[in-house]
Chains A and B, each alone.
Chain A
C-alpha cells in the first residue's frame, strides 16, 4: 500500500458520523467543494473534490495539490474556518465508496435502472448513449475486471441501417433459471416524436438475453414497434420479460418459452410512466399509474387490474415546486423482500419510503415508512426527483442514494453536489443518513440511478463522477450542471472498507 492510500485509510478511519460536523455551504466559494470535520476540537479532516485535498489526523497534516501560489493562504484560511466550524456546527457524515469506471466508454452518458448483480458475481450494467448506440457491460467482481459485451446497435443487427439507435437498456436486467440475463433495449433521442414511426426513426425495442456461459447475446426481435422499453423487469417464474413502453406507455411482455409478444394496452401518460415494475414471488407484476394508484398484472389470467390502494404522495402544486412541469405521481422504484413478502419503494415527488403488501387488505396494504430524501431537504418544495437507486442489503437495510439537486446526468439543471447514502433498517424502522458519498480519491458521487445487492452483500450503484475534461471532450460524457462527468460503478461494502488501491481510471 502506498503512502497516499495509507493517508486515505487514515482519513476514512475518522469518518464516523457521530464525530463529524456540517460545514456551511456559504464557504464553498473558498474552494471547498465538500468536506467533513472531526468534531473533537483538536483534530480535523478536510476533503474536497477539486485539486486541493487535506487531512490532519493524529498530528499528521497532509495537503494535496494546490491550485496556485495562494495555496498557503488558502490552507491557512481553511484551517481557521474549519476551526470555527468545528465549534459552530453539528456533525456531518460522509461515506466512501469504491468505484470502477467503464474503460473505453467514457462517452456513455447515462444509466437508469439497468444494473444487476447476478448470482455468479458478475454485475451487469446498461450504459446509455443519447444519439448513438448504448452498451451493455459486466463487472466481474471475482476477477476485478470490466467487460464490454457490446454495443446495442450491433447486438440487435441494426448497425448501419440508418435507423434511430438502440441507445439504452433503460430497465432492469433479470436472471433466468437458465442462467441467462434477460433485458430489453430502449431508444435515446425522440426529437419531440418528430421521427416517431418514420423510416429513419427508432424501430422499436428488442427483447434479448445474454448467456454468460457462451458469452453470446440472443436477439428475440422487436417487441413494440417504434417504441422503447422505458421500464422493465424479468420474471424467472413465468420466464417473461415485462415492460412499459415509451412513449405510449403500453404494458407489454415477451414470453421466452413460447416466443409470443403481447401488448396489453395503455397504462399511463408518456410523461408519467412508472419507472419500476415490481414482481412478487408468485409472478404477479405491479406498477403505479395516475396519481399514486397501483395496477396489477396477473399472468394466470393475463389481465390487468387497477387496485384501490394508493401511494402516500404529496399533493401537486402545494409543496413541490418541481411538479409544475411533471405529470402524475408514481412510485419511482420498488424492491421485493422475500422475507416480509412486501415491496419497499420510493415515490418520486418527496422521496417517501413506503411498503406495499400485495396480500394485505387494501386499507392496510400501503404504509408510509418515512422519507429518504436528504434530511435537510425533506420539508422543502424542491425535494429532488427521487432516484432509482434503491436496494435491499443482506443486513436487512434498504440502501438508497439520494441526491442534493435534481439529477439526470446531462439533463440535470445543476450539478456538482454529492449524493448521500441513506439507509432504512427494516428491523428497527430507523432511517439513517450515512453521509455524502465520496470516492477514495476525494471526488464526489454526483448522482446515481440504479442499485443492486450482490450475492455477498456488496451494494452496487451506477452513476456519475467528476471527469477530467479533454480538450476535445472525449474523456467525458457531458456535464452535470457545469461539472464534466463520466459514468462509474460504485461499490459499497456495508461491513468493510473499500479497496482503495483497486480504484483506477
Chain B
C-alpha cells in the first residue's frame, strides 16, 4: 500500500472515529471563500424555531428583497434585504404547515403565498419591519381557496399580466388567479393518471407532477404532468395543453419523473431539472427538449439559479442523501461539481445542508440556497 493511501486511510479513520472534521474534508465541500450562511432571524433568540424552519420557497422581489417561506409544524414568511444582510422573520402564515415553491411577488411588490394544507392564497403587503416577533401572525389578506379540497403545491407569477398560476395537491389542478379581478380559474388536472404500480406499491401512491411552474417571455406557463409530459398554458388562447414532449428520463421511467426546478434564461429558453437529476433545456418557441445530462449521480435537482458569470448553479440529492452543488456553463456545455453545501466557520463550523428546498439568485449574482431540514439555514453562494 502506498504511503499516500495510508495517509488517506488514516484521515478517513480519523474523521470516522472521532466524527471530527479533518483537513481532507475541505476538498469535498464548496470553497469556503465562496459561501456563507444566515440564521433565520437574529441570533441567539429571535429565530424561526427548529422544526419550523425548513426553507421550501424562495423568490426575489422586483426591488431585490429575497422572500422565503418555511415548512414544519408551522410556516413562517421571512425576508432578507441583501443590503442589510440578515434574515427578518415577518410572521407565522395562517393555517400553513407547508409552502412549497409557492411564494410570488408582484410588480407592485405584494407577496402572494400558496398555503398547504388549507389551499388558501394569501397576500402580504410589505410594511416597515421594526422588531422581530417570533410567533406573531403574519398580517395577510386571505384571497380564498384556489381549488376546493386541494392544497397549493406551487405558485408563480406573470408580472406583466399580473396573474398568478398555481398547482394543487393531491389533484394536480392547474389554476390561475387574476390579481386585478381577484378571480380564480381552475383549468383542470395535469396528472390524472394513477402512477403504474401505484395501486400495489405504497411508495408510489402520490401522483407525479411538476414541483414548480415557469412563465416564459410571452406569458405562457409550463409544467410537467401525466407520464412526464409537459403541459403548457397558452396565454394567447387561455388554454391548457398537453404537449408531445416529455421530461428527459430513462425509457420507461417517464411516468415516475417530474420537473423539480425551472429557470427562465435571459435568452428566452427555459432550463429545468428533473426528479431523476437530469438537467434539460426547453425551447418554449419550438417546443423541443434537449437533455443536458446528469451533473451528479444523485436524484433530484432542488433548484436552479443564474449567476453573473453566465453559469447556472444548482444542487442535487434527495431527502435521504447529502446535497451537492454543481454549475453548468451554457457556453461550453460543461459541468463543474462544486461539492457539499457547507459552511465551516465559527460559530457554525462544519454546518452542512443535506436537503435543499429551493434556490434563487438576485441581480447582484448572489445565489441563495434554502436548506429544508428540521434545523435550517439560508446559504449565500458567491460564484
A residues sitting closer than 8 Å to B (CB atoms) are 110, 112, 130, 187-194, 196-198, 225-226, 230, 246-248, 250, 264-273, 291, 304, 306, 316-317, 325-328, 385, 408-411
Contact = CB atoms under 8 A, between A and B. Distances in A.
Contact of A196 (B18, B22, B321): B321
Given A192-B15, A271-B19, A411-B18, A266 B298 contact: no
Interface string B331-359: 00000000010000011111110100000
Contact of A194 (B28, B51, B298, B317): B28
19 contacts: A130-B16, A192-B12, A194-B28, A196-B321, A197-B321, A197-B322, A246-B19, A248-B322, A264-B374, A265-B375, A266-B373, A270-B350, A271-B20, A304-B51, A325-B22, A326-B349, A328-B347, A410-B17, A411-B18
Contacts of A327: 20-21, 349-350
A190 B16 CA distance: 6
Contact of B17 (A226, A270, A271, A408): A408
Nearest to A248: B354
Contact of B352 (A110, A270, A304): A270
Given A226-B320, A272-B349, A267 B374 contact: yes
Contact of A411 (B13, B28, B351): B13
B352 A191 contact: no
B187 interface: no
Contacts, number: 101
Given A193-B28, A410-B13, A306 B297 contact: no
Nearest to A194: B28
A265 B51 contact: yes
A328 B12 CA distance: 21
Contacts of B51: 265, 304
B24 interface: yes
A232 to B, nearest CB: 14
A188 B16 CA distance: 7
Given A266-B374, A269-B352, A270-B350, 17 more contacts: A130-B16, A130-B17, A189-B12, A192-B15, A192-B24, A192-B27, A196-B322, A197-B320, A230-B19, A246-B19, A265-B374, A266-B375, A271-B20, A304-B51, A306-B49, A411-B10, A411-B14
Chain B CB within 10 Å, residue with most, of A226, A267, A270, A328: A270
Interface string B57-92: 000000000000000000000000000000000000
Contacts of A197: 298, 317, 320-322
Q: Does more than half of chain A's interface fall in helix, strand or loop, or is it mixed?
A: loop
Given A246-B19, A265-B51, A325-B20, A271 B349 contact: yes
B13 A189 contact: yes
Contacts of B265: none
A189 B8 CA distance: 12
B318 to A, nearest CB: 9
B347 to A, nearest CB: 7
B363 interface: no
Interface in B38-70: 49-51
B322 A193 contact: yes
Contacts of A191: 12
Contacts of B50: 304, 306
B350 A269 contact: yes
Contact of A326 (B20, B317, B321, B374): B20
Contacts of B297: 198
Contacts of B14: 408, 411
A318 to B, nearest CB: 12
B23 to A, nearest CB: 8
B349 A190 contact: no
A322 to B, nearest CB: 9
Contacts of B348: 269
Contacts of B17: 110, 112, 130, 408-411
Contacts of A187: 16
B353 to A, nearest CB: 10
Contacts of A272: 349
Contacts of A408: 14, 17-18
Contacts of B373: 265-266
Contacts of B18: 385, 408, 411
A190 B15 contact: yes
A291 B347 CA distance: 9
Nearest to A198: B297
Contacts of A411: 10, 13-14, 17-18
A131 B16 CA distance: 11
Interface in B288-330: 297-298, 317, 320-322
Interface string B1-35: 00000000010111111111110110110000000
A410 B377 CA distance: 35
A271 B348 CA distance: 10
Nearest to A409: B17
A333 to B, nearest CB: 15
The 5 nearest A-B residue pairs measured at CB: A265-B374, A327-B349, A411-B14, A266-B374, A411-B17
B76 to A, nearest CB: 16
B358 to A, nearest CB: 18
A325 B14 CA distance: 12
Contacts of B13: 130, 189, 410-411
A193 B321 CA distance: 10
B250 to A, nearest CB: 16
Contacts of A304: 50-51
A80 to B, nearest CB: 41
A124 B343 CA distance: 39
B321 A226 contact: yes
Nearest to B22: A325
A190 B28 CA distance: 13
A271 B28 contact: no
A316 B19 contact: no
Contacts of B298: 197
Nearest to B49: A306
Contacts of B351: 269
A440 to B, nearest CB: 29
B53 to A, nearest CB: 10
Nearest to A478: B13
Which of A328, A409, A411 has most chain B Cβ within 10 Å?
A411
A287 to B, nearest CB: 13
A303 to B, nearest CB: 8
A97 to B, nearest CB: 24
Contacts of A264: 374
Contacts of A306: 49-50
A193 B14 CA distance: 13
